[in-house]
Amino acid sequence: MAVKNGGMELKGTFLGGGGDHHSYMGVDEATADMVYDVLKEFWTTRETQSDEETRQIVKNYRKSSFHDSMEPVRKKLSALYSDRDPDQPFSMVDFGGASGSPLYFLASVFPIETLRYVLVEGYLPFVEDFRENFPRQLAIHAGAEAFPGLPDADFGETPLDVFFSSHVLYLIKPAVVRAILERASRLTDTILLADNIKNLHGEMDRENPVVFDYLPENGQIYFSHYFEGYFDDIGFEIVDEFPTQPRAAEMKLGFGVVHARRRD
């Protein structure tokens, strides 16, 4: 099958799904690179955006953890907070955390002195906004390619309780996601993801990158990852998984929460 991605036509093997959007397709590495280049260009430059739009986006992302569809994520984060060593703050790294919305949520239910949150984000206006609002917390301005090479010292005290990433990894090609999770496995024993879960156990394909057409007319072709296989390679296993509600009609279908831990 073939789908149009902006000006490009992408070819691959149809794997499932369908309707106007959300067809899943197995592609080769060169096609995955093309899809990723379009996504990366959008998220790292946001060139067509006015300053006012940027301000609004940054502000809106402060609240994204409070959306109804994020209720199971809030519950999971709260449960992980309760599991921590009570003599220590709850520590988490949020990869692609935008303006840091999980911290806005956690600080609304737990004392801020018991929270150590490390934002990792590639888009500078998000990082600047977070630093202004939480000057005592840590923010690292780094994109997906830089994250695997960051030294432990950048994260403050390690290990951390949780590596968290919500609605980010489906924007990144498999080889880079594997490197991100491998780095995460040297920072923590617990990984919590909110992401597309249609290929979680390799239901679609275990060998080739899998993409799906979310809104191809906008260049929004996304990845569906075989997370179970990636976890296996870093000595982690899935201990919990569940689907989340779409954010609105046609938005974020096939998404869910995945909780993985280092295998005993």
Interface with ligand SAM (CB under 6 A): 40, 43, 61, 64, 96-98, 101, 121-123, 126, 143-144, 166-168, 171-172
For the bound state, the minimum distance from the C-beta of residue 125 to ligand SAM, rounded and expressed in Å, comes to 9
For the bound state, the minimum distance from the C-beta of residue 252 to ligand SAM, rounded and expressed in Å, comes to 9
Residue 99 or 199 with smaller CB distance to ligand SAM? 99
Residue 43 or 110 with smaller CB distance to ligand SAM? 43
Element (H, E) at 179: helix 174-185
Q: Which residues pair with 256 in a beta bridge?
A: 195, 243
Residue 88 or 133 with smaller CB distance to ligand SAM? 133
For the bound state, the minimum distance from the C-beta of residue 167 to ligand SAM, rounded and expressed in Å, comes to 4
For the bound state, the minimum distance from the C-beta of residue 260 to ligand SAM, rounded and expressed in Å, comes to 18
Residue 126 or 163 with smaller CB distance to ligand SAM? 126
For the bound state, the minimum distance from the C-beta of residue 244 to ligand SAM, rounded and expressed in Å, comes to 11
CB proximity list for 73: less than 8 A, separation 6 or greater: 65, 166, 192, 194, 244, 257
- Of 168, 97, 197, the residue nearest 137 (C-alpha): 97
Count the Cβ atoms, other than its own, within 10 Å of residue 95.
26
Cα separation, 115 vs 111, whole angstroms: 7
Q: Three-state SS across 81-116?
A: HHHCCCCCCEEEEEECCCCCHHHHHHHHHCCHHHEE
Residue 143 or 202 with smaller CB distance to ligand SAM? 143
